[in-house]
Structures are given as structure tokens and as C-alpha cells.
Amino acid sequence: MCGITGYIGGEAALPILLSSLKKLEYRGYDSAGVALLDGGDILVRKTKGRISVLEEKLASEEKTEAKTEAETEAKTEAETGGKNVFGANAGIGHTRWATHGEPSDVNSHPHTDEADSIAVVHNGIIENYLVLRDWLYERGVSFRSETDTEVIAHLVTYYYQNEPEVNPGTGLGTRNILGAVRRTLSRLQGSYALAIIAAGYRDRIIVARKDSPLIIGLGRGENLVASDIPAILSRTREVLFMEDGELAVLYRDRVDLFNEQGNSVTRPPTHIDWTEEAAEKGGYAHFMLKEIHDQPKALQDTLRPRLRRSGDKPVDIDFDEINFDPRWAKRDRVVIIACGTAWHAAMVGKYAFEELARIGVEADIASEFRYRNPLLAPGDLVIVISQSGETADTLAAMRLAKKNGCHVLALTNVVGSTLSREADTVLYTWAGPEIAVASTKAFTTQLMCLYLLALKLGRIRGCLDEGNFRRCLAALEQIPGQCAELLAKQDVIQRFASRQFNKTKVFFMGRQYDYAVSLENALKLKEISYTHSEAFAAGELKHGPIALVDKTTLVVAAATRVSLFDKVVSNIREVSSRGASTLVITWEGESAFTKTADEVFFIPAPLWEDDKTEAAGQNRFRECFSPILSAVPAQLFAYYCSIQRGNDPDKPRNLAKSVTVE
Ligand code: F6R
């Protein structure tokens, strides 16, 4: 997730771009950059770090420029070069959340072609960029950065120079920048929101969108483009929301909009009356709620680039990015280390690795692991999970594993984090920045990555036949859409929270995967609502926890193991008869709990193609992925309880987003 912006009009573009970028900084802050159209030139200024770092660099440039101007008063503009980022009236800008290539000056956007005649800012992921890079190499192009975006600038130049559009009447070719951009887009697989400027075309900005947000702000004598509404609100409240596949050309006094087929489209703008603060959160009241709603996209971004397809069906998992070593599949044991929510992901991973790959997992809390004398052997695979990649205990545990000669595979959300730099190999969750302290989309995308690893290892080890492997991939592919379906029903949870928020004790229980996700569900509630909440394996109920159950208790059961439903029904009866209120999270279409629980929240069940395996008991696999979905209602429940109690869910008391000290 990155933020992009663009301005064309009568005023100096630079301050407008910088102020827009600041409104988009929540989308990423690894680096920032701008490209301005001044005369016939493109002037790029970019740097690693936050927008404030870019501003500082520009301020010192402005000072030097003012001095030089005074010294060369007599010279004409032509003599001094006339290159001025401060006076340009058109430009594009970017704030980066690094995905391909570490945060650095050279990997910062905008990216340009070799002659700096095309500049591009991009939000999204070009999935086939390596293929395109090779194609361009063969044609003599050299690259400066490690990013996926740079191929776009080179492709536009390539098509502009080599494939002029031929006029059918005259048979003559004319160079056409829009045609070159269209040809480029036709080569891209993946997601993008793009803004492109070209040196010979100072009167326009070309923009396009596919699976990444992009809006156009319509001003008076000026037009703007941005990833999100807050970036343009100080200039205009009239907005065109771009649709997937659309392309537009922004001029100072008009906008030409085209659909995927290249036909011109018109539609009235939408008037926005949000406050600027509400707009920054995408109109959501809090970052946490926004991030809960980001999950369908975050899951999609994490999954899709890693699925290899035949036709429209996923047939394999592509792990080239981590130099997936098939020797890992020879090991019967994996260690997974993490803290907090990430450790709960490790607990789900334990069940997944055991079930799908028949590999034993030790899911270890980093602060425990680092002070034990753990049994590690050279070559052991140690997976270290951390959203931030900066948690002190997790880093210490990783270093201990490395010291013992283990191979450390990091699972993190932050490119360039300490964990990503020190691990032997890195698998990224492409969730985009997580701002709210309580982790939501990082957790579900961590699960997605762990399932992919477990499935890949399981296939190599022969624990999954081709049919079940492909069914599992198809089931995973349904999850982003199912998550969106769930979120559309959030009012059910909101109403439930408004009745239950003042319970003094909330217990979360489940068996196997449902136990692992209950650990996370209990943590979410306690950290933002300050309600005492605990999780336990449902089978443990009678071994202690039931002593605490009374009328002030709510019990939330996750129940997605169909073969264990009877046991959960008994557990629900046991707590209900002692006065507890109950909520069950289970599969859509299941009626097992409707008579016993006070409330049932349904999660969508996977469509399981060609399911002839039920008799053989193999349909257990279809239940494996439930934690990604059953975490979502619990996140919403925690959020709404926090609101009902008058708390700020984004900034819970005593907690910090990243625990960088012990
Ligand atoms: C809970 C939460 C924390 C973190 C934990 C580890 O919502 O966010 O429990 O999961 O501090 O943080 P990372 O994943 O950054 O190592």
C-alpha cells in the first residue's frame, strides 16, 4: 500500500503535492518523492524516509537556489538552465510502503526511464515484473532500482519510440503517449494505481487504475489525482471515483476519462462532505475499523501473486521470492517464534503444519525461547513472525536461532525492518501499514502465508494429493471475497456488542484451530475494551475455568470442526446452565447451535469442488482455513465493545504498537 498524488493547474505544484502526500502518509512512509514538469523537463526529487525528510531536502535546495539566483541576477532563464521544481505547475508525488526492494533513495518513487523523459508513481504490485524486466533487458534497457514499478516507465518509452500509432488514412506513424501507456497497461498483471508524466507533454498527467484505489479531484482551473480523498479535500470536494480498468488524462481545465475498451466515458462527480480527519481514515471512525475492512484486499494482495494458475484455476504455489528450499520438506519439525498476536498466528500454523504437511511444530513465545536453552540443530527451519519486524524479544530469538545454525524464515509486514534484513529469507504479508495498535489485518495475512507454506510442504511430502491440494488452493482463493461478505454483516455483531459490552468476564473457547484463534480473539477484546477475557481449549472447561462462570460471564465459542460439534454443544449447555450468555461462531448453514446458543454468527463455508471425499473423512481439509474468517467477527466485537465503553480503540491505554524494548 502506497499513496500517490498529482496536480496540474495554475499554481506552484510542489507545495500542493507535499501537502497531499502528508494526508496519505498513513498509507506508507518508507520514502517519498515528487516529479515536476518544468518546461520540457522532468525534475525528480526523492528520498528514503518520511515526507518531512523530503521537505527538509527541498527547503535546503530552495535556499541554495535563492542564493544562486541572486548571484546570477543578470543571466537569463535559458542560461541558468531554467530548471525549477518550485515554479512548476504540474507534477506527481508518492509516499511508499515498500514491497519490492528495500526502502532506499533509489527504490523511492517516482521512477523514470533511462532518459528521464517519463516519470511514474505507482500503488500496487506488478506480479509479472520479472518477466517484463527480462524482456526489456533483452532490448538493451538497464535498470536503476529493484522495484516492480520501474518496468512501467521503460515500457512506456519503449512503446512510444518503437510502436507509433499508424494513421490508417496516410499510413504514417505518429508517436502517441496515450497509445504507449495503453500498450504498457496491456502488458501488466497485478494491481496498480498509476500517475504518469512525460517530458514532451507538459499539459497533462495520465492516470490509470486496476485493483488499487484512485480518485480524481475536479477543481477550478486545476485538477488533481490521489489514492484517497483526504489528499484533495483542501482543493476541491468534487470527486470522480475511477473504476477498475479506467484510464484518464488530466489537463488543467478538463479531464478525459476512458473505459477499459478505450471508449470515452462521462459521469457526474460525487460531492464529498467529510471532514479532513474522517477522510484520512477512509471515512471510518477509527483506523482499527478501517484496517478490519482492509482485510479482503490485504488477503488478496498476500495470496494472489503467489498462486500459479492453469487457465483460471490455481494449481500451485510460487515461492520463488524466498528461494523455497524443497529440503525443508524433509524435516519433521519446524519451530515458529513470535509474540502476542503473531504468536497466535504461530499457534494456528502449528495445527496447519501438522494437518496439511504432517510436520510437528513448536510454536514458541519469543521471550520464553530466548532465555531457554532450546533444542536446535544446524539446518533446522525456524519461522519468525512479526508484523513490525522490530519486536525486541522476537529479534533476540531470531539471533539465537541463527547462532545455532538454523535457517531463519521471517514472516513480516515491513520491508527493510531489522527482521527482514537479518533473516536468511523473508516472506512478506502484503497487508499495508497497520496503524491501530490492535493487530487485525496483519494477523489474518500471517495466517494466509502460514497456510501457503503448510500446503506447499504438504504437497512435496505427499500428504496432500493433487486433487486435495488444488481444492485447498481454491478454498484459500475464496477467502478474500468471503471476508468481504462477513464484513457486510457487521451490524449483527455491533448489535450483539451493544447488549454484551458490560460483561465483566468473557471467555473464548474452541478445539484445535478454534482454540488457536480463540487465543487471538480474547486478546483483541482485552486490549481495547479492557474487559477481563481469557481463552482456553474447550476440553479444559471442566478442569478449572467453569468455576468462574456465572451470570456476569459471556462465553464465545468458535466451532468449525464439524466432527466435534456435539462436544461444543455440551460445553455451551454447561455454561448456559450456570447463567452465562453465549455466542457461537460457526459455518453458514449449520444448525447445530441454534437451539443452545443465545446468538450464532455464521462465517461462509468454502465451496469445495468435486467433493467426493467426505466418506473418506478427507473433507477435514476444508475446515482448516476457518481461523482467517472466524477472527473477523471477534475483531468487530472487540471494536464495538471498546466504543460502547467510551475507549479509543486506536490507542489503547498502556500499549504501544511495537515493543522494541524488553
Ligand atoms: C496485539 C498486538 C501485539 C503484537 C505483538 C508483536 O493486537 O498487536 O500483541 O502482535 O506486540 O508485534 P509484532 O508482530 O510487530 O512483532
State whether the beta carbon of 482 lies less than 6 angstroms from ligand 1.
Answer: no
pLDDT-derived band at 610, boundaries 50, 70, 90: low
Q: What would the pLDDT profile of 222-249 be if each residue is shown by its tens digit?
A: 999 999 888 998 999 999 989 889 999 9
pLDDT for 78 equals 42
> Of the residues 402, 489, 567, 657, which is catalytic?
657
180 and 291 together in one domain: no
Give the residue among 488, 495, 498, 454 at the shortest CA–CA distance from 473: 454
- Does the CB atom of residue 659 touch ligand 1 within 6 A? yes
For ligand 1, is residue 417 a contact (CB within 6 Å)? no
108 close to ligand 1 (CB < 6 Angstrom): no
In this predicted structure, what is the pLDDT of residue 661?
A: 65
Last residue of a domain, one of 249, 279, 309: 279
Out of 343, 344, 388, give the residue to mutate to test ligand 1, the one with the largest number of ligand atoms within 8 Å of its CB.
388
452 CA → ligand 1 middle, Å:
21
Q: Is 85 in the pocket of ligand 1 (CB under 6 A)?
A: no
Give distance in angstroms: CA of 440 to centre of ligand 1: 10
CA 642 to centroid of ligand 1, rounded, Å: 19
* Boundary (domain end) residue, out of 253, 279, 305: 279
Residues 38 and 162 in one domain: yes
Cβ of 460 below 6 Å from ligand 1: no
Give me the pLDDT at residue 212, please.
84
Q: Are 544 and 569 members of one domain?
A: yes
Q: Which three cell numbers stand for residue 492?
A: 449483527
The DSSP code sequence of 370-425 is TTS-----TT-EEEEEESSS--HHHHHHHHHHHHTTPEEEEEES-TT-HHHHHSSE
Higher pLDDT, 17 or 169: 17
Cβ neighbours, 10 Å, residue 544 = 9
In a domain, 157, yes or no: yes
Is 89 a pocket residue for ligand 1 (Cβ < 6 Å)? no
pTM over 0.85: no
Residues 96 and 216 both lie in one domain: yes
Note whether residue 649 is domain-resident.
no
Residue with C-alpha cell 536468511? Answer: 424
Question: What is the distance in A from the centroid of ligand 1 to the CA of 309?
Answer: 34
Q: Are residues 392 and 265 in the same domain?
A: no
Kindly state whether residues 11 and 89 are assigned to the same domain.
yes
Count of domains in the chain? 2
* C-alpha cell, 527: 486490549
Residues 179 and 298 in one domain: no
Is 397 a pocket residue for ligand 1 (Cβ < 6 Å)?
Answer: no
Residue 114: inside a domain, yes or no?
A: yes
Q: Please check the confidence at residue 79 and state whether its pLDDT lies above 70.
A: no
Confirm or reject: Cβ of 413 under 6 Å from ligand 1.
no
**Per residue, what are the HEC states of 256-273?**
EEECCCCCEECCCCEECC
- The whole-angstrom separation of Cα 253 and Cα 205 is 12
Give the pLDDT band of residue 56 (cuts 50, 70, 90): very high
At 540, which CATH number? 3.40.50.10490
Mean pLDDT, rounded, for 211-232: 92
211: pLDDT strictly greater than 90: no
Active site residue 657: yes
Inside any domain, residue 233: yes
CA of 496 to the centre of ligand 1 (A): 27
Whether 659 maps to a domain, the answer reads: no
Q: Which domain holds residue 226?
A: 3-70+82-279
3-class DSSP state for residue 76? coil
Atom of ligand 1 at shortest range from CA of 442? 14
Other CB atoms within 10 A of residue 320 CB: 9
Dist CA 508 CA 557 (whole Å) = 6
In a domain? residue 194: yes
Residue environment code for 154-183, b if the CB has 16+ CB neighbours within 10 A, otherwise e = bbbbbbbeeeebeeeeeeeeeeebbbbbbb
CA of 124 from ligand 1 middle (Å) equals 25
Catalytic residue among 2, 449, 624, 641: 2
CB 621 within 8 A of CB 356: yes
Centre of ligand 1 from the C-alpha of residue 210, in Å: 32
Distance of CA 199 to the CA centre of its chain: 33
Whole-angstrom CA distances from 354 to 132, 306, 536 are 38, 22, 20
Residue 612 confidence (pLDDT) = 60
Contacts of 246 (CB under 8 A, 6+ apart): 208, 209, 257, 258, 259, 260, 265
Q: How many Å lie between the centroid of ligand 1 and the Cα of residue 586?
A: 26
Query: Which residue among 339, 412, 420 is best mutated to probe the pocket of ligand 1, counting the most ligand atoms within 8 A of its Cβ?
Result: 339
Cβ neighbours for 234, distance < 8 A, ≥ 6 positions apart = 19, 276
> Are 132 and 103 in the same domain?
yes
Q: How far is C-alpha 96 from the geometric centre of its chain's CA atoms?
A: 13
Per residue in 119-139, pLDDT (tens digit) is 999 999 899 999 999 999 999
**Torsion, Cα of 508, 565, 465, 407 (10° steps):** 20
Degrees (nearest 5) of the Cα angle 48, 50, 52? Answer: 115
Output the residue whose Cα is nearest ligand 1's atom 11.
Answer: 340
Nearest atom, ligand 1, residue 438 CA: 7
Looking at the predicted structure, is the pLDDT value of residue 279 above 80?
Answer: no
Q: Is the pLDDT of residue 80 over 70?
A: no
Residue 2 has pLDDT above 60, yes or no: yes
- 443-483 pLDDT tens trace: 999 999 999 999 999 999 999 999 999 999 999 999 999 99
Which stretch of 264-273, 290-299, 598-607 has the lowest confidence by average pLDDT? 264-273
Task: Give the pLDDT confidence score for residue 76 in this predicted structure.
Answer: 44
For residues 155 and 131, give the distance between their C-alpha atoms in angstroms, rounded to a whole number: 12
Pocket test for ligand 1, best of 521, 651, 655, 659 (most atoms within 8 A of CB): 659
483 is annotated as an active-site residue = no
20 CB near ligand 1 (under 6 Å):
no
User: Helices (H), strands (E): how many in the chain?
Assistant: 18, 29
Q: Residue 324 — very low, low, confident or very high, per pLDDT cuts 50/70/90?
A: confident
Average pLDDT of the chain is: 91
Question: Which residue type occupies 559?
Answer: A
Q: Is residue 450 part of a domain?
A: yes
Q: Does residue 418 have its Cβ closer than 6 Å to ligand 1? A: no
* Element containing residue 185 per DSSP (H, E): helix 177-187
In short, whether 339's Cβ falls inside 6 Å of ligand 1 is yes
658 lies in some domain? no
CATH of the domain at 110: 3.60.20.10
Same domain for 237 and 303, yes or no, is no
Q: What are the two backbone dihedrals, phi and then psi, of residue 250, each rounded to the nearest 5 degrees?
A: -95, 120
| Residue 334: C-alpha distances to residues 304, 382, 430, 434, 657 (Å) | 25, 6, 23, 28, 28
CA of 442 to the centre of ligand 1 (A): 9
Q: Which helix (H) or strand (E) holds 239?
A: strand 238-241
- 473 shares a domain with 457: yes
172 plus 317 within the same structural domain: no
One domain for residues 220 and 327: no
